Chain A
Amino acid sequence: MDDKSLLTVNVVTPDGVVYDNTTDLAVCKTTLGEVGIMPNRVPLLASLAIDEVRVKTGEDSFDEIAVSGGFIEFSNNVLSVVASSAERKENIDASRAERARARAEKRIATAKETHNVDDLRRAEVSLRRAMNRLNISKH
């Protein structure tokens, strides 16, 4: 196997392709834990956690992409990240995420008061999304 083989990373959302690049290592956080994906790996399907996908671009540099759930599919050296929303670190609107966080916290509080389990769960998911964006934009 030549060591120059690369894999292509596609991040697809309903609003278009967010990211498209080749790399020799991509790290994703699945619902069970982190997986590093390297070229010529066995085909893989996995569900993603609300976290980041890191794509190696150089010796010590990574492109970071915030994803809100979704799944990854890897076959023929193409890694497709299919998520309902995804942003590159540079494109994260921190103030918007901050507002979303405040909103989600308020919703959690009201849902707890009214004992609305559905609402609570949904609010928690949006809080996690907002926190994820904030975390990634900060480091």
Chain B
Amino acid sequence: MPASMQEVKRRIVSTKKTGQITGAMQMVSTAKLNQIQKHAANYQIYSSKIRSVITHLAKSHLLDSSAVSGEVGKSQDGKVNTLSMIKQRPVKKTGIVVITSDRGLVGSYNSNVIKSTMDLIKNGNHNTEDTVIIAIGGTGADFFSKRGYNIVYEYRGVSDVPTFKEIRPIVETIVSMYDNEAYDQLVVCYSHFVNTLTSVFRAEQMLPISAENMGTDDLTEQDENDYQIEYETEPSQDAILEVILPQYAESLVYGAILDAKTSEHACSSTAMKSATDNAKDVISSLELQFNRARQSAITTEITEITGAQAALD
């Protein structure tokens, strides 16, 4: 059948072209993944430095005591401002940062994050009233605004390898909104990069900063010893905490964005790889179909010729 042969041929050509595109996209994503992983390693040095200092200050029981005093004595208005980041406020509003991608073609990346975030909202008995969404990435922003959530901040167009300079305005806004009591706790939901094939959804409470989310548990013995050092501080420990805590919060949020972006590239690369593989499968089955059609066309033709010959004889 010549008509269907042409049809099959056209489909082979178009699938080949699609496969070429997805193959190129896979390579681009892999390159970006490598880039961002290098960047993340750099960031790790910074965050571990901050963490070690914070942990040290926390060890000198400063965090606990001021957290307690914040809970008990709300009358100390002077204290409220200085160390608002570690003070537990009664939670009236929860801020949820949802980090998704701006574009599609990233497999189940976005739907995983959004689904798990919805679960989190449901399990925590939050509703549209007491939850505010901070959306980083267009997909999440569209999803939650369609469902009537209050989106207090939205950011689109995070670059492929985000630098701190670029993310800084977002991070500063998030932290200052917490200071202004737009929400009383901040949860960051994102997809954590495990390896190129796996990403895990992660929801971390970042503000207020508490001993649990400081990661004091996974300290090694060696680290423990490091924290025994007695520091001379200038100015007071409180004043230093005031500088370090916002910086720490900023670095946490930045770390989450970096992690999510890494995971996005990995997902995109995996999705494109499977699309390319799929295209190859489709092409080979189409080629088989095409060859069969061609063969049967030839057979028919031969039968016709021999038939006609026999009739003539």
Contacts and interface: CB of A to CB of B under 8 A. Distances in A.
B and A form one assembly = yes
Interface of A: 12-17, 30-32, 35, 42-47, 69-71, 73, 75, 80, 82, 84-85, 118, 122
B295 interface: no
Interface in B154-193: 163-165, 168, 172, 176, 180
Interface in B26-55: 39, 42-43, 45-47, 49-50, 53
B49 A44 contact: no
Of A12, A17, A32, A70, chain B has the most CB atoms within 10 Å of the CB of A12
B46 A44 contact: no
A128 to B, nearest CB: 15
B233 interface: yes
B230 interface: yes
Given A35-B234, A70-B247, A73-B53, A45 B240 contact: yes
B81 to A, nearest CB: 13
Interface in B184-234: 226, 229-234
Nearest to B258: A14
Given A13-B164, A75-B229, A32 B235 contact: yes
Interface of B: 39, 42-43, 45-47, 49-50, 53, 57, 163-165, 168, 172, 176, 180, 226, 229-235, 237, 239-240, 242-244, 247, 250-251, 254
Given A70-B243, A71-B240, A14 B53 contact: no
A47 B234 CA distance: 7
Given A47-B239, A73-B53, A84 B164 contact: yes
A80 B49 contact: yes
Given A70-B243, A84-B250, A44 B42 contact: no
B230 to A, nearest CB: 7
Contacts of A14: 42-43, 46-47, 163-164, 251, 254
Contacts of A82: 46, 49-50, 53, 247
Given A13-B46, A43-B232, 19 more contacts: A12-B46, A15-B42, A16-B42, A16-B43, A31-B239, A32-B235, A35-B234, A42-B232, A45-B233, A47-B239, A47-B243, A69-B243, A69-B247, A71-B243, A75-B229, A82-B49, A82-B53, A82-B247, A122-B172
Nearest to A121: B176
A44 B45 contact: no
A84 B168 contact: yes
A86 to B, nearest CB: 11
Contact of B229 (A16, A30, A43, A70): A43
User: Can you list the 3 inter-chain pairs with the closest CB atoms, starting with the nearest?
Assistant: A16-B42, A14-B164, A47-B243
19 contacts: A12-B46, A12-B49, A14-B42, A14-B46, A17-B42, A30-B234, A31-B235, A44-B232, A44-B234, A45-B57, A45-B234, A46-B233, A70-B243, A71-B244, A75-B229, A80-B49, A84-B247, A85-B165, A118-B180
Q: What DSSP secondary structure best describes chain B's contact surface?
A: helix
B164 A46 contact: no
B165 A12 contact: no
A16 to B, nearest CB: 3
Contact of A118 (B53, B165, B176): B176
Nearest to B242: A47
B164 A73 contact: no
B302 to A, nearest CB: 72
Nearest to B230: A43
Contacts of A44: 231-234
Of B39, B42, B237, chain A has the most CB atoms within 10 Å of the CB of B42
Nearest to B180: A118
Nearest to A30: B234
Nearest to A48: B243
A71 B57 CA distance: 13
Contacts of B172: 122
A73 B250 CA distance: 19
Contacts of B233: 44-46
